[in-house]
């Protein structure tokens, strides 16, 4: 899909589901008005993830090494739980993936007890088996499973199984992928992976968000495993992400079939509230589809390179999907900067790297750390360390 295929749409108040103001891109010429039911065809062999070369500064390398050391110290002395006593899926899974990608068996094994606690595996709830919890604490009832947490954990376990020849982790990854498959469904001819499952009401959300899609990983797993409950998910995920591209080059963040059903034949099932798109979600989706859709990732990186920073010299978190102009004053998170750094490293884009490196470096410095990150010190550690690995600071 080319950016020229997309045109801005007028906003329409959608009274169902999230009660959001929906502004979406029109479907490309020749595409069905509603969702995509048939998967697009992938190449016989998915190309490897590009690995460009960027030159990193001495201070960045110093800070990355210090963050790695501090993260290991924290895990040893305080464990992986936050100050509220909960383990969080998106604290653990990216860090577990970093350990696998780096080939660090000691760090990987140190994180595995926390990872196992987050995965529903007990016999008392067979339907939820393989779900990954948003958060977990001993003695607390399960609250919510997340599609993003589930697919990220499956990816980390899969990588660990490959890196360390751990058959048990491969089997667990497949179980988690089966749980991920139960988050998926098709409604009004729109295929999506629902954002979460609420244990209290035994109900799924009726909408989806971009961080719940990992098509490059799914394509790899499907090629290795063959037929499964998640057969064709990679192709459908790529197709959905292509449909989500806004005129700005960033991606609309919400997939909600009820919106499309309320306004049929307009392609409004993929949209941004008030036409707003999130740079963080756009980058994560682009990074997760880099092998299959490199042009999408290149477009997101180009938008970020050309964006003006706010008065604190950080990129904005939100943009208008039609014009690409910044919306509001919320600053881009450290995890999102890390994602942009990975895209720059993948493409070997030195100009982009030099634009982002000062912020990446500052975000690893503990001096300006705010109370929120002190309460959740591991949330950004996985993304930041994976970026340093991609940039060549650490050797696999």
Inter-CA distances, 263 with 45, 68, 280, Å? 39, 50, 28
Using DSSP's 3-state secondary structure scheme, residue 121 falls into coil
Whether 396 is in a domain gets the answer: no
The CATH number of residue 258's host domain is 1.50.10.10
10-residue mean pLDDT profile of the chain (396 residues): values are: 30 29 31 40 72 94 95 93 95 98 97 98 92 97 97 98 97 97 90 96 96 96 88 94 96 88 71 95 98 96 96 95 95 96 98 97 68 73 97 92
What's the number of domains the chain is made of? 1
Whether 8 is in a domain gets the answer: yes
Residue with token string 């016999």: 123
Whether 18 is in a domain gets the answer: yes
Whether 231 is in a domain gets the answer: yes
Whether 230 is in a domain gets the answer: yes
pLDDT at residue 365 in the model = 79
What range defines the domain where residue 199 resides?
Answer: 3-390
Whether 395 is in a domain gets the answer: no
pLDDT at residue 395 in the model = 87
pLDDT at residue 122 in the model = 85
- Six-digit token pair at 383? 């993304």
pLDDT at residue 65 in the model = 95
130 C-beta neighbours (distance < 10 Å), count? 26
CB 222 within 8 A of CB 229: no
DSSP string, 190-246: EEEE-SEEETTTTEE-S-EEGGG--HHHHHHHHHHH-S-TTTTHHHHHHHHHHHTB-
pLDDT at residue 202 in the model = 97
pLDDT at residue 45 in the model = 67
Whether 127 is in a domain gets the answer: yes
pLDDT at residue 131 in the model = 98
Residue with token string 């860090």: 95
Whether 350 is in a domain gets the answer: yes
User: What gap in Å lies between CA 367 and CA 72, rounded to an integer?
Assistant: 19
pLDDT at residue 212 in the model = 97
């Amino acid at each position: 899909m080319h950016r020229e295929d997309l045109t801005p749409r007028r906003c329409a108040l959608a009274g169902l589901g999230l009660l959001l103001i929906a502004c979406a891109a029109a479907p490309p010429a020749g595409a069905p008005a509603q969702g995509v039911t048939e998967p697009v065809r992938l190449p016989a062999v998915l190309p490897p993830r590009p690995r460009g070369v960027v030159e990193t500064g001495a201070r960045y390398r110093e800070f990355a090494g210090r963050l790695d050391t501090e993260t290991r110290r924290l895990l040893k002395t305080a464990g992986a739980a936050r100050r509220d006593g909960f383990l969080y899926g998106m604290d653990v899974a990216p860090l577990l993936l970093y350990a696998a990608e780096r080939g660090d068996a000691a760090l990987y094994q140190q994180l595995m007890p926390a990872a196992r606690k987050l995965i529903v595996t007990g016999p008392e709830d067979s339907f939820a088996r393989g779900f990954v919890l948003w958060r977990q604490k001993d003695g607390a009832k399960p609250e919510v499973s997340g599609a993003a947490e589930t697919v990220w954990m499956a990816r980390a376990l899969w990588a660990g199984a490959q890196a360390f020849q751990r058959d048990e982790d491969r089997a667990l990854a497949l179980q988690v992928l089966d749980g991920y498959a139960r988050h998926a469904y098709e409604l009004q001819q729109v295929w999506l992976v629902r954002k979460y499952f609420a244990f209290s009401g035994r109900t799924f959300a009726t909408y989806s968000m971009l961080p719940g899609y990992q098509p490059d990983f799914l394509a790899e797993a499907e090629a290795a495993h063959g037929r499964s409950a998640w057969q064709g998910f990679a192709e459908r995920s790529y197709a959905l992400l292509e449909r989500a591209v806004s005129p700005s080059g960033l991606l609309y963040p919400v997939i909600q079939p009820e919106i499309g059903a309320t306004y049929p034949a307009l392609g409004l099932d993929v949209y941004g509230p008030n036409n707003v798109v999130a740079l963080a979600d756009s980058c994560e989706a682009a990074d997760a589809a880099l092998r299959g859709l490199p042009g999408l990732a290149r477009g997101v990186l180009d938008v970020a390179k050309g964006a003006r920073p706010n008065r604190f010299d950080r990129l904005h978190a939100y943009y208008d999907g039609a014009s690409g102009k910044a919306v509001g004053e919320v600053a881009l998170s450290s995890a999102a900067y890390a994602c942009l750094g990975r895209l720059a490293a993948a493409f070997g884009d030195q100009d982009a790297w030099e634009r982002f490196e000062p912020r990446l470096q500052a975000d690893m410095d503990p001096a300006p750390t705010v109370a929120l990150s002190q309460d959740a010190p591991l949330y950004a550690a996985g993304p930041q360390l994976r970026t340093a690995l991609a940039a060549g600071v650490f050797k696999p």
